[in-house]
Amino acid sequence: MNTLVKKDEYVRARVSSELKFRAEQILKEVGLNTTDAIRLLLTQVVNRGGFPLELRTPNRETIDAMNSAIESQEFSSSQALFADLENDTDD
């Protein structure tokens, strides 16, 4: 795609101020601004002929796992923690 093509269209999106702020912080760390990120996304949509990220809906098992309470465990020492991890049979 030729990046020297005249840019004469605007893309606008309404997002929460928190989302915008947090995204801008992350983008700044990699040397991008919001406009650059949107332009990159749209360019990749065209180049790939589809959305550049895998979008999936979680299945029931995944949803249940995300919603289940995680059991909190306390250990008297790091050795006790590691012993418990070594004895873990969930895998």
SS (H, E, C) 63-87: HHHHHCCCCCCCCCCHHHHHHHHHC
| The residue count for the chain | 91
Neighbours of 1 (CB within 10 A): 8
Question: What is the per-residue pLDDT for 16?
Answer: 95
18-71 pLDDT per residue, tens: 999 999 999 999 999 999 999 999 999 999 999 998 888 888 988 888 888 667
Whole-structure pTM value: 0.56
Question: What is the per-residue pLDDT for 74?
Answer: 86
Locus of tokens 């919603």: 67
Instruction: Tell me how far apart the alpha carbons of residues 91 and 89 are, in angstroms, rounded to a whole number.
Output: 6
